[in-house]
Every structure is written in structure tokens, then in C-alpha cells.
Amino acid sequence: MALDLVNTVWREHGARMDQFDDLDGVRAWLSDHAMDHDVDGGGAGSGLEAVRDRLVRAREAVRDTLEGRGSAGLNDVLAHGSVRPMMRDGGPYELVVVDEPAWRPAWTAAAAFVRMMAERPSRVRPCAHPECVLWFLDVSKNGSRRWCSMESCGNRAKAGRFSRRHKTTG
């Protein structure tokens, strides 16, 4: 979830794209992560705009951490919530408590990032394609994945190498 949040910004034909530029993109991201219920119904998208603001703050904070610019922003996002261990029907569960409902999706993504970094920090990587800004979690057996997607960045790199080889020999 955390890398999905970071990857809501990408490059397409050299232009920066942002899924959160419009509220439909925010709705889609929330729906993809089963958090669309976390948006209050405040008129004219006001609740959704507040959620977008917090998601953008969390996205930039996670990206700053990934890119070595420090984790102060991430800690600021995380300060807006916590997990309270509870029991229900004889079993344990965790209740996420946030300052305000608009923080829930951003806080949840930021907390997921911290858990991921605690478990497999060396497997969180940027795509090796020089024009790509996406990040991924390498879950390959030998830990040698280089591309966010073999279908896009991996194939472009292979095609570029092929083209360069044939230009020098032909």
C-alpha cells in the first residue's frame, strides 16, 4: 500500500503525472485499497479534498524517506494516529485511532511503510530505468529484480541495449 501511494506520481512521455490531480483519482486509489469508506460525506468533495491533502503529505513524506531526505515528514504524518490493541469476540484486533477521519488513509499507508521497512528494507528499491520514478518491493526469490515492471521499464531497457548494439555493428 505504501509504495502504491508513492507510485501515484509517475512519468509518461517525459511529463510528470499525478493520480491525485483530480478527485476521481483519489477515489480510485481509496477504492483499490478498500478505504473508500474512510471519506466523510461533507458536501462538494470537502471530505475527499481533505483526504487528498493528507495523502499527498504522506506520499511526499514516504518519498523523502526513500530518497534519503530524512523522515521528519513521515514522523509528522504518523503523529496523527496510533494503533490501539483490543479484543473482540475473544480475539485480538488493532483499532486505528486518528486525530480526524481524513488522516486515516494517509496514516494507514505511512504505518504500512514503516512495517515494510522493518521487515525487508533491502528489498524496497527504485526502478533501475533512468527515467522512471517508481518504487517496488522485490519479492523475487533471489532478490535481483531491477524494474518496477518488466513489461514497461524492463522491455524499454532491453530494447535500448539491443538498438545500441546494432547501431555500433551496422
pLDDT of residue 23: 95
Alpha-carbon distance values, 107 to 10, 78, 136, 159 (Å): 22, 6, 20, 40
**Per-domain residue ranges of the chain:** 1-118, 120-170
Q: What is the pLDDT of residue 147?
A: 86
What gap in Å lies between CA 48 and CA 24, rounded to an integer? 10
- The long-range contacts involving 15-22, CB below 8 angstroms and separated by at least 24 positions, are 20/52, 20/55, 20/56, 20/59
> What pLDDT was estimated at residue 158?
56
Render the burial of 85-121: b for 16+ CB within 10 Å, e for the rest: eeeeeeeeeeeeebeeebbbbbbbbbbbbbebbeeee
pLDDT string in tens for the chain (170-residue length): 999 999 999 998 889 999 999 999 999 999 999 998 766 554 444 699 999 999 999 999 999 999 999 999 999 999 999 999 999 999 999 999 999 999 999 999 999 999 999 999 999 999 998 889 999 999 988 888 888 887 778 666 555 554 555 566 55
Q: How far apart are CA 63 and CA 37, in angstroms?
A: 26
- Cβ atoms of residues 74 and 110 within 8 Å: yes
pTM of the model: 0.83
